[in-house]
Amino acid sequence: MITLFGCQQNGNKPVITGHSDINYSIGQDRPDLKSGVQALDDEDGDLTSMIVMDDTLVNWNVEGSYPVTYTVTDKDGHVVKVTIYVQVIAAENEILDIYYINDTHGAIEKNGNQLGLSYIGNLVMDAKQKNPNNTLFLGGGDLLQGNILSNYYYGASMIHALNKMGLDAFVLGNHEFDWGLDVVTNYFNEASTDLKADFPALGANIFRKDTMERPDFVDAYTIIEKGNIKVGVIGLMGYGLESSIATARIMPYVFDDPIIWAGHYAEHLRTNEDVDVVLAVIHGRSDYTNSQIAALSGNNKIDAIFNGHTHSRYTQTISRDGLDVPVIQSKANGEYVGRVSLTVSNGSVIDFSLTNLHPTQSSSTASDHITRDSRLATSQTEVQAIINEYKLAIDSLLNEVILTSSSYYSKNDLTNYMAALIRLSVNADIGIHNYGGTRTELSQNQAITVATLYEIFPFDNRVKYVYLSGSDIKDYANSYDALSFKDGLSLSTLKNDVYYKVATNDYIFDKLDNPFIHGVDPVDTGILIRDLLETVLREQAKYYSTFSMDRPIVLTPVSYHVTREEDIA
């Protein structure tokens, strides 16, 4: 701030005080050259002008010594000039490499386009070994649920491998709630005698409804020191993803606005924790959320945004005053590994690059940059050894071929087929299954194992049934789920005031906006839908060498597979 005032002293010229030479490192916040500079008129205090500062010769981006001149004039025309020098010096830049995976869904083993953790581990562990003070490894949610090699162990196999790979932070996704959140957070409970994660679980905007506190063993952020750089990582759940979780699992929780909590904790990290770099990892993809977080400034500023949930692959930048914001998502199932490289100078990010890594692909489009990295083509021995231990315990489930598929069956085909199986399993009038509950297709001549069934139907959905009026069923039929009617019945033949037996999976059944929980005589059978398909396959295997949907469906009493370690007797 420049101050002008007078005092009665000897002399007849103004005086400029508070000026001094300044050293400036390129990349730092630019100093306020007027701060503390004052002008005094020691004759009668009558200054006719404010201090005029001329800093036009300063080049803040090039090393050198540059003059800055302050000028003031009094009523008698006395002009006083003072010159200081700004010494611009090149800062020592550091590169922070952040490797990133999202939505792996338990894809531990290499399988087609899925790289597998031992191959991803080869990349990340090599980078950490060569540059331990410059390398981070982050996970953006939905890492555990979706594959038999992870599901069978409640994710322990994934946690064990990620420990070896040196994961630095695990941001919760919606599918971390599928087994009940306490199952996953137990890995982060220091008091637990079970396997523990060597990294924190993050969810800054996840709260319990009853207390509005975060769930036990879930942190808002973590701070990681790499060399001279102090990094804050804020974990966030995408807004509104409660609807993607089974009602019974999400009822105790609520997801608050990620924009608010990103800014809140960014300010805390910068002002109270003296953090240099702040990263926001969001299990979600919303252009609005990204743009609003990118617009945060000052101490609320976010330096890079990592997305998940939509299984997309992109590299983007969002414009803002100063340096733009990099945004990345790295598809799903471990098909790519994201890398964001930040150039840090004197505690500030001054540049960045971003790409998705792949063992063979490369491209250079602005919104989908891919870089070939041959390290992803090689397995990491120690990580593979961990995986092999878990594979051995369930060898028969992984390798016993029940049948091969006679044809290609799309996800829609399998969804419609499951609706029929659900109906037949309880002799209902109508069976319903949601298209989102079927996660992959069957190829022609594909060998079908129990592990294959986990890939198609990874969620432990149970069959429930209830009696609904025809009018309620007609209203629900607009939901675009797959419906299977018993012979002689169709949507057009339903009578409004007649009650029909309707069966579906618990994900659909329990939703508060659906009619099922309000129906008559609801029953939870405990039958897993995945087991229904296995039963049909094993019945067909008695007479055929291939599986076909065109054959009559035979459902004997379902023989339940052991799906949890503690169930082994």
Give the chain's largest Cα–Cα span.
Answer: 116
Return the minimum-mean-pLDDT range out of 66-75, 369-378, 522-531.
66-75
- Asked if residue 48 has pLDDT above 60, the reply is no
C-alpha 244/C-alpha 250 separation (Å) is 9
More confident residue, 34 or 184: 184
Q: List Cα–Cα distances, 500 to 49, 113, 468, 556, 562, in angstroms.
A: 90, 44, 5, 24, 33
What's the CATH number where 116 sits? 3.60.21.10
Phi/psi at 279 (5° precision): -115, 140
Residue 405, both tokens: 């598929």
Q: Are 414 and 297 contained in the same domain? A: no
pLDDT of residue 92: 78
Per-residue pLDDT averaged across 153-172, rounded? 98
Helices 117-130 and 381-393: crossing angle in degrees, nearest 10, is 150
Task: Name which of 430, 550, 435, 416 is nearest 490 in CA terms.
Answer: 430
Q: Are 24 and 141 contained in the same domain? A: no
pLDDT of residue 447: 97
**How does strand 520-528 pair with strand 462-469?**
antiparallel
C-alpha 35/C-alpha 268 separation (Å) is 26
Question: Would you tell me how many other CB atoms lie within 10 Å of the CB of residue 426?
Answer: 17
pLDDT of residue 46: 59
What's the CATH number where 486 sits? 3.90.780.10
DSSP-derived 3-state class of residue 337: strand
Per-residue pLDDT averaged across 407-428, rounded? 97
pLDDT of residue 562: 38
pLDDT of residue 90: 79
**How does strand 206-208 pair with strand 221-226?**
unpaired
Q: Where are the extended beta strands (E) located within 247-389?
A: 253-255, 277-283, 304-306, 313-318, 325-330, 337-345, 348-358, 363-365, 368-372
pLDDT of residue 12: 65
C-alpha 100/C-alpha 279 separation (Å) is 12
C-alpha 372/C-alpha 367 separation (Å) is 16
Q: Are 352 and 438 contained in the same domain? A: no
Q: Are 317 and 365 contained in the same domain? A: yes
The residue type of 43 is: E
pLDDT of residue 508: 95
pLDDT of residue 15: 84
Q: Are 47 and 170 contained in the same domain? A: no
pLDDT of residue 422: 97
Return the minimum-mean-pLDDT range out of 66-80, 192-206, 262-276, 342-356.
66-80
Return the minimum-mean-pLDDT range out of 10-14, 192-196, 425-429.
10-14
C-alpha 191/C-alpha 53 separation (Å) is 63
| Pair 510, 243: CB distance under 8 Å | no
Q: Are 385 and 402 contained in the same domain? A: no
Question: pLDDT-based confidence at 78, cuts 50/70/90?
Answer: confident
- Asked if residue 1 has pLDDT above 80, the reply is no
Domain count, the chain: 3
Q: List Cα–Cα distances, 402 to 216, 398, 416, 545, in angstroms.
A: 42, 11, 21, 9
- Asked if residue 542 has pLDDT above 80, the reply is yes
What's the CATH number where 13 sits? 2.60.40.10
Per-residue pLDDT averaged across 245-263, rounded? 96
Of 375, 392, 409, which residue sits at a domain end?
Answer: 392
What is the distance between the terminal CA atoms of the chain, rounded to a whole angstrom? Answer: 77
C-alpha 273/C-alpha 379 separation (Å) is 38
pLDDT of residue 561: 42
Q: Are 54 and 64 contained in the same domain? A: yes
pLDDT of residue 151: 96
Per-residue pLDDT averaged across 62-86, rounded? 88
**How does strand 368-372 pair with strand 348-358?**
parallel
Of 89, 106, 129, which residue sits at a domain end?
Answer: 89
pLDDT of residue 72: 86
Q: Are 48 and 134 contained in the same domain? A: no
Q: Are 381 and 450 contained in the same domain? A: no
Return the minimum-mean-pLDDT range out of 45-59, 213-227, 432-446, 555-569.
555-569
- Helix, strand, coil fractions of the chain, as percent rounded to 5: 30, 30, 40
- Asked if residue 419 has pLDDT above 50, the reply is yes
User: Which class for 304: exposed (0-12), middle (13-18), buried (19 or more C-beta within 10 A)?
Assistant: buried
- Asked if residue 320 has pLDDT above 70, the reply is yes
Residue ranges making up the domain that contains 221: 93-392
Q: Where are the extended beta strands (E) located within 155-303?
A: 169-171, 201-202, 206-208, 221-226, 229-237, 253-255, 277-283
Provide the mean pLDDT of the chain. Answer: 92
Q: Are 453 and 353 contained in the same domain? A: no
More confident residue, 41 or 14: 14
- Asked if residue 559 has pLDDT above 60, the reply is no
| Pair 64, 88: CB distance under 8 Å | yes
Of 341, 373, 392, which residue sits at a domain end?
Answer: 392
C-alpha 100/C-alpha 220 separation (Å) is 19
- Asked if residue 406 has pLDDT above 60, the reply is yes
Q: Are 448 and 377 contained in the same domain? A: no
Q: Are 386 and 435 contained in the same domain? A: no
Helices 156-165 and 381-393: crossing angle in degrees, nearest 10, is 170
